[in-house]
Amino acid sequence: MAKKKKVEKQTEEMNPNTHIIGAGYVAQQNITDMLETNFMPYAMSVILSRAIPEIDGFKPSHRKLLYTMYKMGLLTGNRTKSANIVGQTMKLNPHGDAAIYDTMVRLSRGYEALLNPFVDSKGNFGKAYSRDMQWAAPRYTEAKLAPICAELFAEIDKDTVDFVDNYDNTMKEPTLLPVKFPTILANPTTGIAVGMASSICPFNLAELCDATVALIKDPDADIMDILKAPDFTGGGQILYDRETMETIYKTGRGGFKVRARYEYDKDNKCIDITQIPPTTTAEAIIDKIIEKYKSGSVREISDIRDETDKSGLKITIDLKKGTDPEKLMQKLYKVTTLEDTFSCNFNVIVAGAPKVLGVYEMLDEWIAFRTECVKRRVYFDLRKAQDKLHLLEGLQKILLDIDKAIKIIRETDEEAEVVPNLMIGFGIDEVQANYVAEIKLRHLNREYILKRTNDIDELRDSIAKMEDILAHKSKIKKIMVDELNEISKKYGKPRVSEIIFASEVAEDEEEEKIPDFPVTLFFSKEGYFKKITPQALRTSGEQKLKDGDEMMMEIETTNDSDLLFFTDKCQVYKAKANDFDLGKASQLGDYVASKLEMDENENTLYMAVTKDYKGSMLFFFENGRVAKVDMESYATKTNRKKLIKAYCDKSPVVAIRYITEDCELVMESTAGRLLLINTGSVSLKTTKDTQGICVMTLKKGHVVKLVRDYVKGEFAKPHRYKTKNLPAAGATLSAEDSGEQLSMI
């Protein structure tokens, strides 16, 4: 309370003309209360009214747009400007013109995102497979509803779905659309809500209708052979695995791979990619291939370009001479998004709550929804027919004596008494009497009345049939089956995506064989690398280096060797000798830090070359400790290019060595002491960042300054610098050895 009074006093002093008690006071609120009052309503709104589709296959924004276009007469009329549609839609969807237009673009035929587009577009609507091809402004484009939308709105005026007020209570809008086919699975739908998301893949319309018919006839039917796999508007190849598909069909979750389709042009020696996965774009693929080319992992390409035009998508890859296009594509499938995974999450709003449903469950829910729509439609038609029959039966009674009807009307003094007098005169009710009273004088003849009453028998038959339909579920199912078969026949198209079996692809995929030939590797102190063949080395002169640089390592090996580059940030980067181009002595070579995309200000300290990961790595630290790590600890089953914690970071590293067998090394401290050790006395560890064991004891202020190979015979009495037990301090140079010049290796 004292703190609050102090804040109030300060506020009054700062605002002498305003007497707002407590102004500037920060009130405390429990986070649980804030989440309940602020966050939860927002989350529910996004989930139920924005991001997740309902069982009719539409999000609210889609439904509002299509219904507006229907009310504008765009189902059968001419196209109109998109700006006009956007403006009219704002009566139902007040979220801004840009959001509405984006929605319409994604539903359009021109954008090519939907397998069964609902908007017949004209003009530039962009492309789903392109990141850079943007759509034109709404004032430049035109649109109308696609013919298939007739199956969405054919029954909307027959009380098949509920209507609610729009946001300002000025008009009505449908809560769902009475779709005649499962639109929820006929087109792709993605949405990110709060705490949940939805990702539904599309299926071929003809296959989907056939599968739904099978489930209507037999709820326990196996539709896997009918609805084999999804189908995308962009085509591609679906790597089919039955177990994976069964999981998706039953649970609504899982993923499957889609890969691009290509053609090889023998005349121009190039690959034309014409279909790509729906999860990527042409620009993303091109950027990734260029990146792989620059890194050296894809060398068979001489050029790549985007040749997409009005005829459709086309990415052209020019090949170098002698390149096998199939092997190149197998490699590109692995390292780029030419092969990508479509992750399924069939999250749908059912009865006002989000549910993750499998294909079976989703079709069952749609069948239940459609059954209710058909019932409501038949009941609506039944009531209309009954009302019409009732009126015609009253008219039929007048047929017995038209003159009497005219006489009753003519002799009635007051207009209000006409209907009651007709009711008394012919024994009809008020509704029938009103209908008779409203007939024009010119229609009170036998011919007109006979024509109108001829339909009575047909109406009675029709009413009997509709009542029979409502009484028998099998009759309703037959109506649904007939409608689905008609839609399949009218709008069905062949599959676009090709189905290939994943097991067959896996057998065809072979790991690329790295060409194996002898090479000599050079690694400089500044981090430059060269790979030179023995033939080129024999005819070359001195190795070119940067000013101040010196050659640190020269190793004879083969082109298929693994290279491990240890850095000053306790990391190791792995590469193949084949990843580097052949060079010459007259070249500086590749700068390893740039080639392997190392972290900023990261420098290479040592290069280890191995083929079988036998032997061990030795790390000598300034504090006199030595870590001996099994080389197999750096072998990885996956193609990981970077390993963190490659060695201990507790003390600066002085030297790194890779050895395949134990040897003798000389350690020298800043105090001038030398210690001759055999690496066999250092215990082997499997943990990469181990601190190792203390080998050389040091006086305060002194550190190990270098490590070098021991040259046999360089010491007159080698035992002087050896010790039986570790750690040891070592010894200073004897008078006999002081004349020897030590050089770092």
* pLDDT confidence of residue 17: 54
pLDDT at residue 19 above 70? no
Q: Are 365 and 55 in contact (CB under 8 A)?
A: yes
pLDDT at 2: 47
pLDDT of 6 reads 47
- For CA atoms 287, 289, 290, 294, the dihedral sign is positive
- What does the DSSP assignment read for 655-689? EEEEESS--EEEEEETTS-EEEEEGGGSPEES-TT
What does the alpha-carbon distance between residue 344 and residue 321 come to, in Å, rounded to a whole number?
A: 41
Cβ-contact 282, 242 below 8 angstroms: no
Grade residue 11 by pLDDT with cuts at 50, 70 and 90: very low
**pLDDT reading at 10 higher than 90:** no
How far apart CA 163 and CA 172 sit, in angstroms, is 6
CA distances from 446 to 216, 234, 372, 405, 450 (A): 50, 65, 43, 13, 6
Task: List the domain boundaries for the chain.
Answer: 2-36, 52-179, 261-337, 366-491
Cis peptide before 354 (omega within 30 of 0): no
Q: Structure tokens of 395?
A: 């008219």
Q: From 124, 128, 118, select the one nearest 140 (Cα to Cα).
A: 124
Q: pLDDT grade, residue 504 (50/70/90)?
A: low
What DSSP element (H or E) covers 373? helix 359-399
The CATH classification number of 261-337 equals 3.30.1360.40
In degrees, rounded to 5, the angle at the alpha carbon of residue 106 between the alpha carbons of residues 103 and 112 is 170
The pLDDT confidence band at residue 73, using thresholds 50, 70 and 90, is very high
* CA dihedral sign of residues 7, 10, 14, 18: positive
Please determine, for residue 311, whether its predicted confidence score (pLDDT) is greater than 50. Answer: yes
pLDDT (0 to 100) of residue 130: 92
For 23-101, list the strands marked E by DSSP.
80-81
What tens digit of pLDDT does each residue of 648-667 get? 999 999 999 999 999 999 99
Among 3.90.199.10, 3.30.160.620, 3.30.930.10, 1.10.540.10, name the CATH number for the domain at 52-179.
3.90.199.10
Q: Per-residue confidence at 744, pLDDT binned at 50, 70, 90?
A: very low
pLDDT of residue 126: 94
In angstroms, the CA 107 to CA 104 distance is 5
Question: Does pTM surpass 0.85?
Answer: no
Q: Is 634 a catalytic residue?
A: no
DSSP string, 210-275: HHHHHHHH-TT---TTTS-S---TT--EEEE-HHHHHHHHHHSEEEEEEE-EEEEETTTTEEEEEE
Asked if the domains at 261-337 and 366-491 fall in one CATH topology, the answer is no
- 378 or 401, which is more confident? 378
pLDDT of residue 589 exceeding 70: yes
Q: What is the pLDDT of residues 223-244, one digit of tens each?
A: 999 999 999 999 999 999 999 9
Percent over 90 (pLDDT), the chain? 64
Could you give the residue ranges of the DSSP H alpha helices within 472-544? 473-491, 502-508, 534-538
Homologous superfamily of domain range 366-491: Topoisomerase, domain 3 (1.10.268.10)
Contact 256, 245 (CB under 8 A): yes
Lowest mean pLDDT among 68-72, 535-539, 573-577, 590-594: 535-539
Residue corresponding to tokens 């490590």: 707
Tell me which of 25, 42, 140, 167 is the catalytic residue.
Answer: 140
Which residue's structure tokens are 């069948």?
367
Report in angstroms the alpha-carbon separations of 262 from 112, 278, 320, 325, 340.
19, 15, 17, 10, 15
pLDDT at 638: 65
CA atoms of 266 and 288, how far apart (whole Å): 25
Residue-averaged pLDDT of the chain: 89
Whether the pLDDT of residue 299 is over 90: the answer is no
Task: Give φ, ψ of 342 to 5 degrees.
Answer: -95, 115
Average pLDDT over residues 285-310: 89
Convert the pLDDT of each residue in 148-206 to its tens digit.
999 999 999 999 999 999 999 999 999 999 999 999 999 999 999 998 999 999 999 99
Q: How do 347-350 and 353-356 pair as beta strands?
A: antiparallel
Nearest to 507 by CA among 729, 732, 330: 330
Between 581 and 529, whose confidence is greater? 529
